[in-house]
Amino acid sequence: GQQLNQSPQSMFIQEGEDVSMNCTSSSIFNTWLWYKQDPGEGPVLLIALYKAGELTSNGRLTAQFGITRKDSFLNISASIPSDVGIYFCAGAITGGGNKLTFGTGTQLKVEL
Amino acid sequence: SAVISQKPSRDICQRGTSLTIQCQVDSQVTMMFWYRQQPGQSLTLIATANQGSEATYESGFVIDKFPISRPNLTFSTLTVSNMSPEDSSIYLCSVKGQGSNQPQHFGDGTRLSIL
Protein backbone atom coordinates (compact mmCIF):
# COMPACT_ATOMS: atom_id res chain seq x y z
CA GLY A 1 0.00 0.00 0.00
CA GLN A 2 0.87 3.67 -0.02
CA GLN A 3 3.70 4.75 2.23
CA LEU A 4 5.05 8.05 3.42
CA ASN A 5 8.75 8.14 4.18
CA GLN A 6 9.99 10.55 6.81
CA SER A 7 13.56 11.61 7.34
CA PRO A 8 15.48 11.64 9.44
CA GLN A 9 14.22 8.67 11.42
CA SER A 10 15.62 10.23 14.59
CA MET A 11 17.75 13.18 15.50
CA PHE A 12 19.67 14.40 18.50
CA ILE A 13 20.07 18.16 18.64
CA GLN A 14 21.29 20.83 21.01
CA GLU A 15 18.77 23.09 22.71
CA GLY A 16 18.43 26.28 20.69
CA GLU A 17 19.19 24.66 17.35
CA ASP A 18 16.84 24.71 14.38
CA VAL A 19 15.38 21.39 13.20
CA SER A 20 14.24 20.29 9.77
CA MET A 21 12.43 17.11 8.81
CA ASN A 22 10.63 16.05 5.69
CA CYS A 23 8.10 13.63 4.36
CA THR A 24 7.94 12.20 0.84
CA SER A 25 5.33 10.18 -0.98
CA SER A 26 5.20 8.11 -4.14
CA SER A 27 1.82 9.66 -4.96
CA ILE A 28 0.01 12.96 -4.72
CA PHE A 29 -1.87 14.22 -1.65
CA ASN A 30 -4.29 17.14 -1.41
CA THR A 31 -3.79 17.65 2.33
CA TRP A 32 -0.69 17.42 4.49
CA LEU A 33 -0.85 17.37 8.26
CA TRP A 34 1.89 17.37 10.89
CA TYR A 35 1.31 15.81 14.32
CA LYS A 36 3.43 15.43 17.47
CA GLN A 37 3.04 12.47 19.78
CA ASP A 38 4.32 12.48 23.35
CA PRO A 39 4.70 9.23 25.34
CA GLY A 40 1.37 7.95 26.60
CA GLU A 41 -0.66 10.36 24.52
CA GLY A 42 -2.35 10.51 21.15
CA PRO A 43 -1.00 12.58 18.24
CA VAL A 44 -1.65 16.31 18.55
CA LEU A 45 -2.16 18.37 15.41
CA LEU A 46 0.57 20.97 14.82
CA ILE A 47 -0.06 22.32 11.34
CA ALA A 48 -2.50 21.59 8.51
CA LEU A 49 -1.72 22.38 4.86
CA TYR A 50 -4.35 22.38 2.12
CA LYS A 51 -2.73 23.98 -0.93
CA ALA A 52 0.36 23.13 -2.96
CA GLY A 53 3.13 25.61 -2.18
CA GLU A 54 1.45 26.75 1.03
CA LEU A 55 3.76 27.84 3.83
CA THR A 56 2.18 27.96 7.29
CA SER A 57 3.58 28.83 10.71
CA ASN A 58 2.47 27.98 14.24
CA GLY A 59 4.77 29.69 16.72
CA ARG A 60 8.26 28.27 16.26
CA LEU A 61 6.98 25.70 13.76
CA THR A 62 6.80 26.25 10.02
CA ALA A 63 5.56 23.70 7.49
CA GLN A 64 5.36 23.73 3.72
CA PHE A 65 3.20 21.81 1.24
CA GLY A 66 5.51 20.84 -1.60
CA ILE A 67 4.75 22.12 -5.11
CA THR A 68 4.71 18.58 -6.51
CA ARG A 69 2.15 17.61 -3.81
CA LYS A 70 4.33 14.61 -3.06
CA ASP A 71 6.24 16.08 -0.14
CA SER A 72 6.09 18.32 2.89
CA PHE A 73 8.60 19.87 5.27
CA LEU A 74 8.48 20.83 8.93
CA ASN A 75 10.93 23.21 10.54
CA ILE A 76 11.28 23.95 14.24
CA SER A 77 13.27 27.01 15.21
CA ALA A 78 15.21 27.46 18.46
CA SER A 79 14.36 24.02 19.86
CA ILE A 80 13.55 23.63 23.55
CA PRO A 81 13.37 20.50 25.75
CA SER A 82 9.59 20.18 25.39
CA ASP A 83 10.03 19.70 21.63
CA VAL A 84 11.09 16.12 22.44
CA GLY A 85 8.71 13.59 20.94
CA ILE A 86 7.79 11.83 17.75
CA TYR A 87 6.67 13.89 14.78
CA PHE A 88 4.40 12.34 12.18
CA CYS A 89 3.38 13.63 8.80
CA ALA A 90 0.07 12.47 7.33
CA GLY A 91 -1.48 12.87 3.91
CA ALA A 92 -5.03 12.74 2.65
CA ILE A 93 -6.63 12.71 -0.78
CA THR A 94 -9.76 14.68 -1.59
CA GLY A 95 -12.56 12.24 -2.21
CA GLY A 96 -10.56 9.47 -0.59
CA GLY A 97 -12.92 9.14 2.32
CA ASN A 98 -10.82 11.55 4.39
CA LYS A 99 -8.50 8.69 5.26
CA LEU A 100 -5.05 9.61 6.53
CA THR A 101 -1.86 7.86 5.51
CA PHE A 102 0.81 8.38 8.15
CA GLY A 103 4.55 8.75 7.75
CA THR A 104 7.10 6.60 9.49
CA GLY A 105 7.84 9.25 12.12
CA THR A 106 10.82 11.33 13.22
CA GLN A 107 11.94 11.01 16.82
CA LEU A 108 13.40 14.23 18.18
CA LYS A 109 15.68 14.25 21.20
CA VAL A 110 17.07 17.47 22.62
CA GLU A 111 20.29 17.79 24.56
CA LEU A 112 20.29 20.41 27.27
CA SER B 1 -11.22 21.32 18.78
CA ALA B 2 -13.44 18.54 20.12
CA VAL B 3 -12.57 16.77 23.36
CA ILE B 4 -12.16 13.05 22.70
CA SER B 5 -12.30 10.53 25.55
CA GLN B 6 -11.26 6.91 25.19
CA LYS B 7 -11.95 4.15 27.69
CA PRO B 8 -10.16 2.21 28.96
CA SER B 9 -6.85 4.06 28.76
CA ARG B 10 -5.01 0.77 29.12
CA ASP B 11 -5.70 -2.87 29.81
CA ILE B 12 -3.96 -6.22 30.14
CA CYS B 13 -5.99 -9.11 28.75
CA GLN B 14 -5.74 -12.85 28.40
CA ARG B 15 -5.41 -14.37 24.95
CA GLY B 16 -8.65 -15.56 23.47
CA THR B 17 -10.73 -12.88 25.17
CA SER B 18 -12.29 -9.78 23.62
CA LEU B 19 -12.18 -6.14 24.70
CA THR B 20 -14.44 -3.25 23.69
CA ILE B 21 -12.92 0.22 23.54
CA GLN B 22 -15.15 3.27 23.74
CA CYS B 23 -14.66 6.67 22.10
CA GLN B 24 -16.82 9.59 23.25
CA VAL B 25 -16.70 13.09 21.73
CA ASP B 26 -18.07 16.19 23.42
CA SER B 27 -19.68 17.48 20.21
CA GLN B 28 -21.21 16.03 17.07
CA VAL B 29 -18.65 15.12 14.43
CA THR B 30 -19.03 14.07 10.84
CA MET B 31 -16.51 11.27 10.77
CA MET B 32 -14.90 8.90 13.27
CA PHE B 33 -11.98 6.60 12.60
CA TRP B 34 -10.09 3.85 14.41
CA TYR B 35 -6.31 3.41 14.10
CA ARG B 36 -3.80 0.89 15.39
CA GLN B 37 -0.27 1.81 16.44
CA GLN B 38 1.93 -1.21 17.00
CA PRO B 39 4.89 -0.85 19.40
CA GLY B 40 7.41 1.65 18.03
CA GLN B 41 5.48 2.04 14.79
CA SER B 42 3.37 4.60 12.99
CA LEU B 43 -0.42 4.70 12.84
CA THR B 44 -2.41 2.46 10.52
CA LEU B 45 -6.08 3.03 9.75
CA ILE B 46 -8.30 0.10 10.74
CA ALA B 47 -11.66 1.44 9.61
CA THR B 48 -14.00 4.37 9.21
CA ALA B 49 -16.91 4.18 11.66
CA ASN B 50 -20.12 5.05 9.82
CA GLN B 51 -23.10 6.29 11.77
CA GLY B 52 -26.01 3.91 11.50
CA SER B 53 -24.30 1.52 9.08
CA GLU B 54 -21.45 -0.95 8.85
CA ALA B 55 -17.94 0.38 9.18
CA THR B 56 -15.64 0.62 6.15
CA TYR B 57 -12.55 -1.52 6.74
CA GLU B 58 -9.09 -1.08 5.28
CA SER B 59 -7.18 -3.86 3.62
CA GLY B 60 -5.95 -6.35 6.18
CA PHE B 61 -8.68 -5.65 8.73
CA VAL B 62 -11.97 -7.54 8.94
CA ILE B 63 -15.23 -7.06 10.77
CA ASP B 64 -15.07 -10.40 12.57
CA LYS B 65 -11.81 -9.42 14.24
CA PHE B 66 -12.55 -5.70 14.78
CA PRO B 67 -16.31 -5.12 15.00
CA ILE B 68 -17.16 -1.43 15.19
CA SER B 69 -20.32 0.37 16.21
CA ARG B 70 -21.33 4.00 15.80
CA PRO B 71 -24.86 4.50 17.07
CA ASN B 72 -24.77 8.32 16.94
CA LEU B 73 -22.61 11.32 16.00
CA THR B 74 -20.67 11.43 19.28
CA PHE B 75 -19.90 7.81 20.17
CA SER B 76 -18.18 4.76 18.70
CA THR B 77 -16.81 1.46 19.94
CA LEU B 78 -14.10 -0.84 18.64
CA THR B 79 -13.95 -4.46 19.79
CA VAL B 80 -10.74 -6.45 19.51
CA SER B 81 -11.92 -10.05 19.31
CA ASN B 82 -10.25 -13.33 20.20
CA MET B 83 -7.07 -11.51 21.15
CA SER B 84 -3.56 -12.83 20.70
CA PRO B 85 -0.21 -11.29 21.73
CA GLU B 86 0.10 -9.84 18.20
CA ASP B 87 -2.85 -7.58 19.00
CA SER B 88 -0.81 -5.77 21.67
CA SER B 89 -0.92 -2.19 20.39
CA ILE B 90 -2.26 1.26 21.01
CA TYR B 91 -5.74 1.71 19.56
CA LEU B 92 -6.66 5.30 18.74
CA CYS B 93 -9.92 6.99 17.89
CA SER B 94 -9.93 10.09 15.71
CA VAL B 95 -12.68 12.51 14.67
CA LYS B 96 -13.17 14.96 11.83
CA GLY B 97 -15.61 17.80 11.41
CA GLN B 98 -17.57 18.58 8.27
CA GLY B 99 -15.71 20.26 5.44
CA SER B 100 -12.62 19.39 3.44
CA ASN B 101 -10.45 21.74 5.51
CA GLN B 102 -11.25 20.11 8.83
CA PRO B 103 -8.29 18.04 10.12
CA GLN B 104 -8.51 14.87 12.19
CA HIS B 105 -8.00 15.06 15.94
CA PHE B 106 -7.06 12.10 18.09
CA GLY B 107 -7.89 10.72 21.49
CA ASP B 108 -5.12 9.59 23.83
CA GLY B 109 -5.54 5.96 22.83
CA THR B 110 -6.02 2.63 24.60
CA ARG B 111 -2.84 0.74 25.41
CA LEU B 112 -3.60 -2.94 25.13
CA SER B 113 -1.33 -5.78 26.21
CA ILE B 114 -2.26 -9.41 25.66
CA LEU B 115 -0.61 -12.11 27.73
Q: Does A102 touch chain B (CB under 8 A)?
A: yes
Whether B108 shows a pLDDT value over 80: the answer reads: yes
Who has greater pLDDT, B101 or A103?
A: A103
Q: CA A92 to CA B29: how far, in whole Å?
A: 18
| B37-92 tens-digit pLDDT | 999 999 999 999 999 889 999 999 999 999 999 999 999 999 999 999 999 999 99
Q: For the residues of A15-63, what is the DSSP string, one character each?
A: TT--EEEEEEESS--SEEEEEEE-TTS--EEEEEE-STT-EEEETTEEE
CB contact under 8 A, A100 and B107: no
Contact B33 A99 (CB under 8 A): yes
For the cut 70, the answer to whether the pLDDT of residue A1 exceeds it is no
Contacts of B45 in chain A (CB under 8 A): 99-101
Distance CA A28, CA A55 (A): 18
DSSP strand pairing (B110-114 vs B68-72): unpaired
The model's pLDDT over A4-61, given as tens digits with 9 standing for 90+, comes to 999 999 999 899 999 999 999 999 999 999 999 999 999 999 999 999 999 999 999 9
